[in-house]
Copies of this chain bind each other. A is one copy, B any other.
């Protein structure tokens, strides 16, 4: 069972807020708003994406690497490998 379930409600709320931001950006483009406003909207939802990533990384770390309920070393190593891979791609 994946840890994303544990925080499903919180993560879904974040993703829906981001979807709302992207939809607002789409409407702003269609309405031909000024680009200063457009750029601020993009910055806002990029920030929200970073916040979501931070929350998922924390959950993954606590549930798949650090949790006392993990009894197999192989499981911990797998959880760590997955995290390393994503951090490498994200911080390139």
Q: Which A residues, 8 to 28, have Cβ-Cβ distances below 8 Å to chain B?
A: 8, 11-12, 15-16, 18-19, 22-23, 25-26
Q: Using Cβ atoms and an 8 Å threshold, which residues of chain B touch A79?
A: 66
Q: Is the interface of A mostly helix, strand, loop or mixed?
A: helix
Query: Are B87 and A77 in contact, CB atoms less than 8 angstroms apart?
Result: no
Query: Are A38 and B4 in contact, CB atoms less than 8 angstroms apart?
Result: yes
Interface residues on A, range: 35 or more
Query: Are B61 and A84 in contact, CB atoms less than 8 angstroms apart?
Result: yes
Query: Are B87 and A35 in contact, CB atoms less than 8 angstroms apart?
Result: no
Query: Are A35 and B19 in contact, CB atoms less than 8 angstroms apart?
Result: no
**8 tightest A-B contacts by CB?**
A66-B80, A68-B73, A39-B86, A46-B49, A36-B82, A50-B91, A66-B76, A19-B22
